[in-house]
Amino acid sequence: MKDRVKIFMFSDALGYEIAQRYKFMMDEFPVRLPVRTQFGYSSTCVPTILTGEPPTKHGHFSFFYRPKDAKSPFTFFRFLHPFLHPSVVFDNHRIRHRVSLWLARHRNYTGYFNLYRVPYARLPFFDYCEKQDIFAPHGLAPVKNLRDVLTESGVPFHISNWHLNDDQNIAAAKKLLEEERTEFFFVYTAGLDSMLHFHVHEPEVVAKHLDAFSAKVRDLLKTARAHFRKVDFCIFSDHGMTPLKGETDIKSMLEALPLKFGQDYIAAYDSTMLRVWFLNPDARAPVMDAVTGAPGHWLSPEEKSALHVDFADASYGDEIFLLDPGIQLVPSDMGAKPIPGMHGFSPDDRDSTACILSVNELAEHPREIADFFRLMKQGAFELKNAGA
Ligand SMILES: [Zn+2]
């Protein structure tokens, strides 16, 4: 039996609303707090948790961005796309998936790389922010990530392999707990996110999934208590899941204008927002007017700053039109159809709120998800001092 262990479990999309409504593990995790999410998708929330820094600092927001020098790693698609006929390829996600895998292997991309539905002809206008594994050493350099900080601390730690599924990650952590050599755990789980995107509106399905998940967490907690005298265990999330309330076809609104993509403007159609770059200054007013009637609003400079997405080089868009909570942009570069649940809305939306659940009282209460990093860093510091 060893002295102490700290387990931080990341549960993608375990929103505060869902944790409370379904009374998820209320008995074992009595400390339960809502935590403000970071505006964006997991592609920005996870780097925020891994560094404690805002997107403007770690540089990750939505997957596709416009590089400063306008140099794209996808320029060859300019020559290739006439041979990739839209009717065959654009709607065939299996082929796109293979193209993504081939590119990742060919270019040594170690991160989560997915071309989604961005038309091949438009790829040469973009770069992709998660080409490298953000969990790896220096994965978010020049900013230090969790692995860098833990390595420096000298505390024996374990960070899950995000390529594996929840069962595999929980089993790997359990085995290490039994070996009693690891004191700090970051256990990655993303199964809830995948389920909620498609079943958030079906209470029985959600309850069943949460029940099965809690049985595994309980088992992990039991194992930790069998091998360590003092066990700190918390579960936290990056964002919640907002049920579908409607959809809007912003893409058609822009494409109906007498303007040309790539000459007058460039647009990225995310699931919950439109991001636009103006190549021709005269395109700004018609583009902005064209979508004003849609359920959402253009983010003001003050809002962008408050949401930490006021990138100085406008690499993620000159302007961002954010949809109202629950409204999905359909079709988007991410999907052809709306899905029952989505995240990436305003952090003020109740369903978007993340959470932290803890077995023990927390020395400090995280207010936004970036604070999870400070909590983990503090945890490593305590372990180091206890061991010194
Ligand atoms: Zn998701």
| Distance in Å, CA 41 to ligand 1 centroid | 7
pLDDT at 89: 53
pLDDT at 84: 63
| Distance in Å, CA 342 to ligand 1 centroid | 7
SS3 245: coil
| Distance in Å, CA 349 to ligand 1 centroid | 16
| Distance in Å, CA 223 to ligand 1 centroid | 29
Verify cis geometry, omega within 30 degrees of 0, for the bond prior to 281. Answer: no
When pLDDT is averaged across residues 307-334 and rounded to a whole number, the result is 94
pLDDT at 91: 52
The answer, yes or no, to whether residue 125 has pLDDT greater than 70, is: yes
pLDDT at 117: 78
**CB atoms inside a 10 Å sphere around CB 301:** 9
**CB atoms inside a 10 Å sphere around CB 347:** 18
Verify cis geometry, omega within 30 degrees of 0, for the bond prior to 142. Answer: yes
- Domains of the chain, each with CATH number or no CATH: 2-52+143-243+348-387 (3.40.720.10), 57-132+245-338 (no CATH)
When pLDDT is averaged across residues 130-143 and rounded to a whole number, the result is 91
Whole-number Cα distances in Å, 326 to 146, 206, 299: 32, 18, 17
The answer, yes or no, to whether residue 86 has pLDDT greater than 70, is: no
Pull the structure tokens for residue 360.
């023990």
| Distance in Å, CA 192 to ligand 1 centroid | 9
SS3 368: strand
When pLDDT is averaged across residues 154-163 and rounded to a whole number, the result is 96
- Tell me the residue length of the chain: 388
Q: Where are the alpha helices (H) located in the chain, listed in sequence order?
A: 16-21, 42-51, 55-58, 77-80, 86-89, 93-107, 146-153, 166-179, 191-199, 203-227, 250-255, 284-290, 301-306, 371-387
pLDDT at 113: 72
Instruction: Indicate the burial class of 120 (C-beta count within 10 angstroms; 0-12, 13-18, 19 or more).
Output: buried
Whole-number Cα distances in Å, 305 to 46, 301, 312: 20, 6, 10
pLDDT at 69: 77
Which region among 8-22, 73-87, 138-152 has the lowest average model confidence (pLDDT)?
73-87
pLDDT at 103: 76
| Distance in Å, CA 80 to ligand 1 centroid | 31
pLDDT at 191: 97
| Distance in Å, CA 343 to ligand 1 centroid | 6
| Distance in Å, CA 365 to ligand 1 centroid | 25
pLDDT at 85: 57
| Distance in Å, CA 44 to ligand 1 centroid | 12
What is the helix (H) or strand (E) element at residue 356, kind and residue range? strand 354-358
When pLDDT is averaged across residues 147-172 and rounded to a whole number, the result is 97
pLDDT at 123: 81
pLDDT in tens, 40-83: 999 999 999 999 999 999 999 988 889 877 787 777 677 666 66
pLDDT in tens, 277-310: 999 999 999 999 999 999 999 999 999 999 999 9
When pLDDT is averaged across residues 317-322 and rounded to a whole number, the result is 97
Query: Model pTM greater than 0.75?
Result: yes
| Distance in Å, CA 291 to ligand 1 centroid | 25
| Distance in Å, CA 310 to ligand 1 centroid | 23
| Distance in Å, CA 254 to ligand 1 centroid | 26
Instruction: For the chain, give the mean pLDDT.
Output: 92
The answer, yes or no, to whether residue 249 has pLDDT greater than 90, is: yes
